[in-house]
Amino acid sequence: MTDCVLGVIGGSGIYDLPGLAGAEWVRVETPWGEPSDDLRIGHIDGLKVVFLPRHGRGHVHSPSDINYRANIDALKRCGVTDLVSVSACGSLKEELAPGTFVLVEQFIDRTFARPKSFFASGCVAHVSMAYPVSPRLVDHIEAAARAEGVTCRRGGTYLAMEGPQFSSLGESHLYRSWGCDVIGMTNMPEAKLAREAEICYATVAMVTDYDSWHPDHGEVDIQAILQVLRDNAHNAQRLVARLARDIPRRHEPCPVGSDRALDHALMTAPDKRDPALMARLAAITARVLSD
Annotated binding site for phosphate: 12, 54-55, 87-88, 186
Asked whether the beta carbons of 7 and 80 are under 8 A apart, the reply is yes
Catalytic residue (choose from 109, 181, 209, 259): 209
Is 3 a catalytic site residue?
no
Give the 3-state secondary structure of residue 108: strand
Catalytic residue (choose from 37, 109, 211, 259): 211
Is 211 a catalytic site residue?
yes
Asked whether the beta carbons of 47 and 249 are under 8 A apart, the reply is yes
Helices (H), the chain: 68-77, 135-148, 169-177, 190-196, 222-246, 275-280, 286-290
Binding residues: 12, 54-55, 87-88, 185-186, 209-211
Helices (H), 110-188: 135-148, 169-177
Asked whether the beta carbons of 196 and 261 are under 8 A apart, the reply is yes
What is the distance in angstroms between the CA of the first residue and the CA of the last residue of the chain?
14
DSSP 208-240: EE-TTT-TTT-S--HHHHHHHHHHHHHHHHHHH
Binding residues for substrate: 185, 209-211
Q: Which residues are catalytic?
A: 209, 211
